[in-house]
């Protein structure tokens, strides 16, 4: 049987202990690691010796570091409409402000170079009640980040995040049209688009230029109001079979990376991620 895409995961979805996480990921058949939280810190706050230790652990288990899941632009945009309180804001131990962003951008790119990661994941500021009022400033910020990334030979991957201003496929497509820089691409997250009120596949996905999708996050949920109820991958409202088939048909060349979120049947996040990882492996194997 053929595996359509290489698989990765955000390591802390399995365990805060990196050794445990990557060992389990390798057992499932994953070959990529995405770093967000490890050694009790957000990736952006790790020292160089800690980064080297993480790289050694990942490599020892036969995986490569494919993305830095940074918290860049996950903050309030000053002098913009008030933040939309309907959406939960996950920070993963990163409580940085707007003023911190230039320093964080430089550090994120240094981390990507040191670990060999090609992608630096970023956001679009916490979602305002009038997100369109923030659009031009978001576009300028992403244009600047893409220019910085080009100097480092890296890609800025904008994740469509339901708690941020660019949340849906439609909003992402508009942003990509405004910022044509080749070093700005998309981390496509169908579940985030769904929480934002869009039908992610086929509607949101079909708005995106596939050649600018650099990475895909996989998780699943249902929605009550604006609140996601996370569940096992393949058992929620996201048409993952259709989405994966379309990515293959459209020539997508990147990774599909598990971002579990679900707490599992017994509140055991490791068990939940093992279940979702196996489900993802089955979905991409045809």
Helix (H) or strand (E) holding 48: helix 48-60
Yes or no: say if 259 and 277 are a contact pair by the CB < 8 Å rule.
no
**How much is the pLDDT for 94?**
59
For residue range 24-46, list pLDDT tens digits in order.
999 999 999 999 999 999 999 99
Q: Which CATH superfamily includes the segment(s) 7-283?
A: Divalent-metal-dependent TIM barrel enzymes (3.20.20.150)
- Rounded to 5 degrees, φ, ψ at 227 are -105, 120
List pLDDT tens digits, range 196-225. Answer: 999 999 999 999 999 999 999 999 999 987
Average pLDDT of span 250-263: 97
Question: Which residue bears the tokens 């036969």?
Answer: 62
pLDDT at 160 over 60: yes
When pLDDT is averaged across residues 53-80 and rounded to a whole number, the result is 97
pTM above 0.85? yes
Q: Give the model confidence (pLDDT) of 46-58 as tens digits.
A: 999 999 999 999 9
User: In what helix (H) or strand (E) does residue 37 lie, and over which residues does it extend?
Assistant: strand 37-38
């Amino acid at each position: 049987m053929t595996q359509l895409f290489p698989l990765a995961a955000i390591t802390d979805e399995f365990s805060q202990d990196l050794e445990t996480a990557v060992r389990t990921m390798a057992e499932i058949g994953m070959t990529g690691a995405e770093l967000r939280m490890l050694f009790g810190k957000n990736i952006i706050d790790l020292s160089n010796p800690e980064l080297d230790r993480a790289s050694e652990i990942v490599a020892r288990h036969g995986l490569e570091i494919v993305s830095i899941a940074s918290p860049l632009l996950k903050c309030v945009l000053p002098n913009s409409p008030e933040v939309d309180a309907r959406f939960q804001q996950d920070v993963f131990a990163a409580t940085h402000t707007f003023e911190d962003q230039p320093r964080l951008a430089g550090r994120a790119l240094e981390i990507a170079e040191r670990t060999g990661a090609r992608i630096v994941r970023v956001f679009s500021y916490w979602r305002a009640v009038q997100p369109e009022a923030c659009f031009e400033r978001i576009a300028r910020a992403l244009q600047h980040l893409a220019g910085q990334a080009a100097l480092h030979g890296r890609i800025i991957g904008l994740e469509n995040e339901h708690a941020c201003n660019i949340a849906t496929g439609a909003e992402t497509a508009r942003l990509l049209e405004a910022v044509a820089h080749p070093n700005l691409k998309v981390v496509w997250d169908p579940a985030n688009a769904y929480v934002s009120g869009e039908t992610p596949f086929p509607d949101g996905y079909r708005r995106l230029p596939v050649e600018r999708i650099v990475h895909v996050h996989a998780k699943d949920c249902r929605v009550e109001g604006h609140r996601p109820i996370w569940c096992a991958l393949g058992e929620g409202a996201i048409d993952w079979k259709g989405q994966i088939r379309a990515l293959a048909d459209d020539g997508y060349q990147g990774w599909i990376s598990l971002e579990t979120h679900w707490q599992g049947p017994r509140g055991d996040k490791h068990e939940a991620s093992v279940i979702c990882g196996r489900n993802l492996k089955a979905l991409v194997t045809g």
